[in-house]
Amino acid sequence: MTRRECREHLMILLYQVEFHKLEELDEQVSNYLGSIIAPKSDDVAYIRNKYHNVLAHMEEIDSILESASDGWKLKRMAKVDLSIMRLAVYEMKYDEEIPVSVAINEAVEIAKKYGQDESPSFVNGVLAKVAGMIEKG
């Protein structure tokens, strides 16, 4: 499985966070990962680990997104866009193996595939602001 495919699965799992109770999330992850056709155990471990890391930093990630989104409240954003950006912000801020430009580009590409017509430009604009905020520290 490519890293983009892993990101797409992560986005889908993060999307599910919006619709399930906290205590149901582990079961939802297991059900979803079990439904992927012939995943390698390394891929499943990578997805599961990154998913839990994003959840662990969700409060700070959401705060960063609120600051960067110029008056857009998270609850008003399309849930697909929000899920894509949460993953990208995690990669930009906490995953040292992934360059900021790669995280943004991957998020935009996933937004093209799963989002609405305006999603790629919205995601790109918000994440560009996040990149500037992260650089300033």
DSSP string, 48-74: HHHHHHHHHTHHHHHHHHHHHSTT--G
CATH code of the region 3-136: 1.10.940.10
What are the sequence ranges of the domains in the chain?
3-136
pLDDT, one tens digit per residue, over 72-106 is 899 999 999 999 999 999 999 999 999 999 999 99
How far apart are alpha carbons 137 and 107 in whole angstroms? 22
pLDDT, one tens digit per residue, over 37-73 is 666 788 888 999 999 999 999 999 999 999 999 888 9
Are 65 and 126 a contacting pair, CB within 8 Å? yes
